[in-house]
Amino acid sequence: MKLLPVTMFGDKILRKKVDKLEEVDMETIELITNMFDTMHNASGIGLAANQVGVNKAIFIVDLSKVEDYEDSKPIVFINPEIIKYSAEKTVFEEGCLSIPDIRADVERPESITIKYRDTDMKEQSFDANKLLSRVIQHEYDHLRGILFTDLVDDDTKKKLKGPLRKIRKRKIDVSYPISETSDYQLVM
């Protein structure tokens, strides 16, 4: 098990649109395995590659530790694209490993259709709703340089300025490894 440092709010890589993956090699499989270890260690349910300093279009989701989702299987999304959003929207509190100790209500479409490549680079697609839809949208946004704090109302943004400044300056206490500088990037 190798835990990767999680990038924090203010890290440059979190604001970049990531590059598509051309192939899955052993290095990619090792990255994905380490991402799952890192996410589980931090009690997360989703993690994007740029959250561990990798500029690649990969994210993972595992809801199996969430009540009512115990039978769900971990999913690896490579080069994902959400191709349909429902008109119906819901508001739900979100958090993020890159923005520790901050939670806020975010409005998102209730359901989506996503297509992606699996680890064999075979195209897959399915419809997702409720929590799975929300986690996928959250992680998909990461790959586009969007954070959940970008989607909150103006009053909430004002309230978050101080706590976000503390995260940017690394004046936080978390139980998982974090990147040391805002320029952190794992070269792959």
Catalytic residues: 139
Q: d(Cα 98, Cα 52) in Å, to the nearest integer?
A: 9
- Give the list of residues 6+ apart from residue 138 with CB closer than 8 angstroms, or none: 46, 94, 96, 148
Q: d(Cα 2, Cα 91) in Å, to the nearest integer?
A: 35
Q: Which two tokens stand for residue 113?
A: 């259709």
Is 109 exposed, middle or buried, given 0-12, 13-18 or 19+ CB atoms closer than 10 A?
middle
Q: d(Cα 48, Cα 136) in Å, to the nearest integer?
A: 10
Distances (CA, A) of 171 to 17, 101, 158: 27, 12, 19
Which amino acid type is present at position 107? Answer: E
